[in-house]
A and B are shown apart, each in its own frame.
With several copies, the nearest count.
Chain A
Amino acid sequence: MAATPHRLPLLWLLLPAGLLYGGLALYPLAGMLQMSLTEGWGHYAEVTQGRLLWRAATNTVAISLTTTAIALLLGYVLAAGLWRCGPATRALLLAFIMLPFWTAVLVKNFAWAALLQDNGVVNGLLQWAGLTTAPVTLLHNRLAVIIGMVHYVLPYAVFPIYTAMRGIDLRVERAARSLGAGTLALFWTVLLPLTMPGVLSAGLLAFIVSAGFYVTPVVLGSPSDMMVSNLVSYYVHELVDFNAAAALAMLILAAITPVIVLQQFASRGQHGGG
């Protein structure tokens, strides 16, 4: 009688549903794995030998890192604002930050595309201000991709940092002040070190979301800004090669998994360190 016998019934009720969902989650994965291996490692070789993958992979890492860096900087400032402001301002700020999260990705991107196009609002403003006479190419380049992606990724960067800040005991901050720390010293010696776990977690999360991004590069970017997720779509739509697409998807999953695991640990460490 080691366990309490009165707990079991509820758990038994859960078992079939658990198995069903386990299947739902694992089944496509297993199916993809099987599809990708129909010719041994052949499909993997096919995918990795082309120059397309390396170009897409380089793009993915470069764009994701840039996006992450910008999102962290902006995110830190926004999180600090959320932390320090009164409840009314906080509600307003939260609405701002959540807005892109709730707006469907596509709606946002088309909005950006419409704004950044040659005869769009931004070019109109630039010409009206006399800063340029001919329209500037704002769309279909890396800048446009990164603006769109930062906009999308920002909420993911804000919240882990904000959580870390809320975990800081007001008394620790007051202690630092009473011991002689001014505003800048307080930031560098106490606030920044104590929020670093949140920054780490936010950075990894922003990177994951950026790297898994599909829609933005297609709408706002040029073909040279293709990222790895686009490549899956390319194999399916253009080459109608499901097996190669599956192999590619497995490779992406394998590459991103360690980062996800790291992020999970970072966000856990955050709670322990608070």
Chain B
Amino acid sequence: MTVSGRSVEVRGLHKNYGPHLAVRDVSFHLQPGEFLTLLGPSGSGKTTTLMMVAGFEAPDRGEILVAGQDVAGLPPERRNFGVVFQGYALFPHMSVLENVAFPLRMRGLPGAEQRRRAGEMLEKVGLSAFAGRQPRQLSGGQQQRVALARALVFEPDALLLDEPLGALDRKLRESLQQEIKAIQRRVGISILFVTHDQDEAMGMSDRIAVMAEGRLVQLGSPAEVYLHPRTPFVAGFLGETNFLTGSFCGVADGLAVLRFADGSLGRARLPDGVAVPEQGGKALLSVRPERLRLLPDGPVAGVVESCTFLGRHARYVVQALGQSLALSTTEWSPGAALPAGAAVRLGWAAEDAQLLDG
């Protein structure tokens, strides 16, 4: 079966809870077959946005268009989305087959047809042998596949996934992430995914919409939002980073030039959409630990505070520019680690530092 995913466009969505503004002016366009993730901390409005698309919350303002048709006035049972919840929300009193056949039964299909299509779908997710089991007899991964089968069997316009992997441990999470991606590749459905986990978002998504305090603050590919964050929030939420403050000296060769408190100069990229500060004004810069490098002739002098081996990389904390900077490197060996107190020089490539808004 190939489900042809449809586009879902959200325009200017607003939602109040009492005096509290839960979602403010959120717009995005999920393309047919795309995997779009709403990423943000709890309380950022990402789940409320998903629930408005699904129909469980009514927006105060805004449009929800499926292939161009506004569905905002329809109750959830009249929209045509497959929703997968955290914990999977399988029906505990029905067998696996009955769970998967449920949406077909609700659509009034004949019993034989229900069983045939549900059986086919179970085969797609590799669970034919479990059709007669109860959900509680399945492992977490199998339950997820049942939930996906149930959400896909009626050929929905798109899949909406609300932190489906939220409560699981890391190993299981990673293998289920790959399974979701594999199923999407097989059936070609559009997916709107909600998570608070930046690694999950980066590993799975075509595009990421970063949300904070009810607003969509940046939308782009994983590489764009990670490498070129526009605000301190996005820079910090997508991974560890160092924030450096300096005064803005101007733009040279398309790069921003800053002067730090110790008088040294630094250069940084000016991402699209970031306002250029005024001459001499305060400017904030983000450099990720893996982009900060120990260089024999680096422009910045520092002193090693600590060095921790973390497996894939080692993490130095270096006192420099009047603050503690994190620096991660894969060039580490048990004998060659720098001791605390060692004097080092460091620097970064201009395009690896980002000037931020605010």
Contacts and interface: CB of A to CB of B under 8 A. Distances in A.
Contacts of A189: 102, 105
Nearest to B79: A178
Interface string A173-215: 0111111111001000110011000000000000000000000
Given A6-B75, A178-B76, A273 B58 contact: no
B91 A176 contact: yes
B89 A171 contact: yes
A179 B85 contact: no
Contacts, number: 77
Counting chain A residues whose Cβ lies within 8 A of the other chain, the interface size class is 20 to 34
A50 interface: no
B106 A180 contact: yes
A1 B92 contact: no
A7 to B, nearest CB: 10
B58 A1 contact: yes
A182 B77 contact: yes
A238 interface: no
B252 to A, nearest CB: 53
Given A179-B154, A180-B107, A174 B92 contact: no
A172 to B, nearest CB: 5
Task: Report whether over half of chain A's contact residues are helix, strand or loop; otherwise say mixed.
Answer: helix
A175 B86 CA distance: 11
Counting chain B residues whose Cβ lies within 8 A of the other chain, the interface size class is 20 to 34
A108 to B, nearest CB: 38
Interface of A: 1-6, 169, 171-172, 174-182, 185, 189-190, 193-194, 273
Contact of B85 (A2, A4, A5, A171): A171
Contact of B56 (A174, A182, A190): A174
Contacts of A171: 85-87, 89
Nearest to A272: B136
A171 to B, nearest CB: 4
A4 B56 contact: yes
B86 A179 contact: no
Interface in B58-98: 58-60, 75-77, 79, 81-83, 85-87, 89-93
Contacts of B150: 175, 179
B103 interface: yes
